[in-house]
Amino acid sequence: MSFEPKIVAFCCNWCSYAAADLAGTARMQYPHNVRIIRVMCSGMVHPEFVMNALSQGADGVMILG
């Protein structure tokens, strides 16, 4: 089976999370292996979150803000 990376994305409530909502409204299709976590600002993302994600098996972490 081909490699399916697991990606954790931290999205800012005011921009990238809203953009992901809009991608839905526009029915834009994208790969399903990203899991979005809503934060109130990308500046809220503590390094610990990223370290935890990577150590618990995430192949990539995105911080979008």
Partner 1 sequence: MTLSEVAAITGSAGDFTVTVKESPRYVDVNKCIACGACAEKCPKKVASEYDAATGKRKAIYVKYAQAVPLKYQIDPNSCIRLKKPGACGFCETACDAGAINFNDTEKIHEINVGAVVLAPGFEAYDPTSAGVWGYGTFPNVITSLQLERYLSASGPTEGHLVRPSDGKPVNKVAFLQCIGSRDENLCGNGYCSSVCCMYAIKEAVIAKDHVPGLAASIFYMDMRTHGKEFDQYMVRAKENSGVRFIRCRVNGVETDGNSDDLRLSYVNEAGRQVEEFYDLVVLSVGLQTPKHVLELAHQADIKLTASNFAATSDFAPVQTSRQGIFTCGAFAGPKDIPQSVVEGSAAAAAVADLLAPARFQLTTEASFPMEKDVSGDKPRIGVFVCHCGSNIAGVVDVAAVEEYAATLPDVVYVERNLFSCSQDTQEMISKRIQEQNLNRIVIAACTPRTHEPLFRETLKAAGLNEYLVEMANIRNHNSWVHSAEPKAATSKANDLIRMAVAKVAYSNSLRPISVPIYQKGLVIGGGVAGMTAALNMAEQGFEVHLVERSAILGGNALHLKHTWSGEYIPTAVAKLVDKVVLHDKVIIHKEFAVTAVEGFVGNFKSTITGKDGSKKIIEHGAGIVATGAEAYIPTEYNYDSIARVVTSVQFDKLYELNEVHVKKAKNFVFIQCVGSRETGKMYCSKVCCTHSVQSAIALKKENPDRNIYILYRDMRTYGQRENLYREARKLGVIFINYELHGKPNVHEDGQQIDVEVWDHVLHRPLNLKADMVILATAIRPMGDASKLGNLYKVPVDGDGFFQEAHAKLRPVDFSTDGMFVAGMAHYPKPIEESVAQALAASARAVTLLSKKEVSLDAIKATVDETHCDGCALCVDVCPYHAITLVDKKAADGSKAGKVILVNKAQCKGCGLCQGTCPKRGVYVAGFTMEQVNAQVRAALAA
Tell whether residue 16 is a contact of partner 1 (CB under 8 A). Answer: no
Tell whether residue 64 is a contact of partner 1 (CB under 8 A). Answer: no
Segments in 1-65 forming alpha helices (H): 16-25, 47-55
Tell whether residue 25 is a contact of partner 1 (CB under 8 A). Answer: yes
Closest CA to 47 of 59, 38, 55: 55
Tell whether residue 15 is a contact of partner 1 (CB under 8 A). Answer: no
Closest CA to 65 of 47, 41, 32, 44: 41
Contact positions vs partner 1 (CB under 8 A)? 6, 8, 13, 17-18, 20-30, 32, 35-41, 43-49, 52-53, 56-58
